[in-house]
Amino acid sequence: MSGRPFFSIAIPSKNRPDRLQQAARSVLEQTFPDVEVIVCDNSDEAEAAATAAAVTALNDSRLVYVRTNGRLSMPDNWERAVADARGQYVGILTDRSVFQPFALERAHREIETTGVPLVGWFGDSYGRGPSGRDFRRRTRTGQGWIVESRRLLEYFLHGHPKHASKRVPKLMTSVCSREVIDRVRSSPLGRICPPVCPDYTSGYLMLAHTDRLVLVDDALFISCGSGNGSSFRRRGALADRFLRDLGMSWQELVDRMPTRACFTSALVLNDLMRLREQLPQAFAGCEIDRVQYYLACLADYERAARRGADLFEDYDELIEGLNRESEDVQATVRSRSIYARAATTLPPDVADEREAALDPDGEGDDGFEHPQFDNVFDAMAWAAQHPHARQGDAASADASIAMPELKHVTAARIQPKRRPSSRRVRTLMAEPR
């Protein structure tokens, strides 16, 4: 490839040669072809040959293959991948995701129409249900919205916990101008994808270094299966390896939070507070909203516990912290339904299933039957024949994408029963049935 491509899409990968090939293929088959694909292979030595072969088999001059020593942490692998990008706009596609065929064409149209340095979007999912074949599509309008960057940062801190983190345009759900990325990397921080969670940290940094962006209310990619986020919620093997690669402990992940409870919401908020210390001017005014913090962590706990994760000690730590808060914070948190639901959520083998309520603020199964496909490309072909949203016009500043406020978190309708302590829960689990 000669000249400078319009887009560079980096695919940091580790031990997923088959999925990596799908991801790279989806970029190479874009309706907007002016793109380079950088595969940064951080696989273990046993998987490196298969990963290199998967890239070679695609036989496309727009592919760039970079081999690391296999021992980089995830943030370092992301950073390495982006470092080699030559495009005017840069994005990341994880090795378990695929682009919709029109993704870069839509992003290019928004850039050409508005001149924004950042375009973000949302995603559908494939293969997360029990069958491993289900295709789930989010509700969307297809419209693009021009949004002030600072507003999204403030919404992340003070908005509805269910929606706030999803509005952050992470580098894996956006493309950002090379100029902005270079500006961030020339700051005292020196990188665009710092630890702990490079998807969120890159998002915070892009928002802090831009004035406005376009958010496309459409799914331009499909996430396949489960990744590090799910492993963190379950305290799974991927999470343990992630920590070893970083050289950090669970408690260090939340060392700037009101409590030591290690929930996903606390972890990504902790990353923002760490960046505020490193770049105080860029993140001036970013303060923890303690009500949102507790509500988000309670939602994390309930979602994980209903799936069998052992996070009871974290829950106890969270409630002990809540008991130390001001009366206003305590009263507000306890008036929300998530507080009641979390207080009655026990492990699956000791919980009273009759009391298990649907979570109106969570992200569980929506109760619909989802179409089934043998692979994600079949799902995309079907989606093209069954549009889920109108193709929106170019971005508009006349209205805005929905941003429910913290006060709209569902109010409690039941009084919670006293929840046993984690020690009592373990005793119940050990009793013969």
pLDDT tens digits, 167-218: 999 999 999 999 999 999 999 999 999 999 999 999 999 999 999 999 999 9
β-strands 118-126, 212-224 pairing: parallel
233-288 pLDDT, tens digit per residue, is: 666 677 778 888 888 888 899 999 999 999 999 999 999 999 999 999 999 999 99
| 383 φ/ψ angles, rounded to the nearest 5 degrees | -60, -35
Helix (H, G, I), strand (E, B) or coil at 205: helix
What is the number of residues in the chain?
A: 433
Tell which residue, 254, 417, 263, has the closest CA to residue 343.
Answer: 417
Domain ranges across the chain: 7-225+372-385, 242-361+410-430
Distance CA 257, CA 383 (A): 42
Q: What is the pLDDT of residue 304?
A: 87
Element (H, E) at 214: strand 212-224
Task: Tell me how far apart the alpha carbons of residues 419 and 180 are, in angstroms, rounded to a whole number.
Answer: 49
- pLDDT 10s digit of each residue in the chain, 433 long? 458 999 999 999 999 999 999 999 999 999 999 999 999 999 999 999 999 999 999 999 999 999 999 999 999 999 999 998 999 999 999 999 999 999 999 999 999 999 999 999 999 999 988 888 999 998 888 999 999 999 999 999 999 999 999 999 999 999 999 999 999 999 999 999 999 999 999 999 999 999 999 999 999 999 998 766 655 666 667 777 888 888 888 889 999 999 999 999 999 999 999 999 999 999 999 999 999 999 999 999 998 888 878 888 999 999 999 999 999 999 999 999 999 999 988 755 544 433 333 333 333 445 567 899 999 999 999 999 988 755 555 555 445 567 777 666 777 664 454 555 555 555 545 555 4
Strand duo 7-13 + 35-41: pairing: parallel
Return the C-alpha torsion angle 296, 301, 303, 307, nearest 10. Answer: 160
**What whole-number distance in Å separates Cα of residue 77 and Cα of residue 11?**
10
CB distance 336 to 414 below 8 Å: no
Give the separation between CA 169 and CA 155, rounded to whole angstroms. Answer: 12
pTM of the complete model = 0.88
CATH fold for the domain made of 7-225+372-385: Spore Coat Polysaccharide Biosynthesis Protein SpsA; Chain A (3.90.550)
Radius of gyration of the chain (CA): 22
CA 174 – CA 216 distance, rounded (Å): 10
Q: Which residues contact 155 (CB under 8 A, 6 or more apart)?
A: 164, 167, 403
Residue 118 — φ and ψ, nearest 5°?
-150, 130
In terms of DSSP bridges, do strands 135-136 and 118-126 run parallel, antiparallel, or are they unpaired?
Answer: antiparallel
Give the three-state DSSP class for 212: strand
Estimate the crossing angle of helix 178-185 against helix 198-208, to 10 degrees.
100
CA distances from 207 to 154, 158, 169, 292, 324 (A): 10, 16, 8, 20, 33
Under DSSP, is residue 161 helix (H, G, I), strand (E, B) or coil?
A: helix
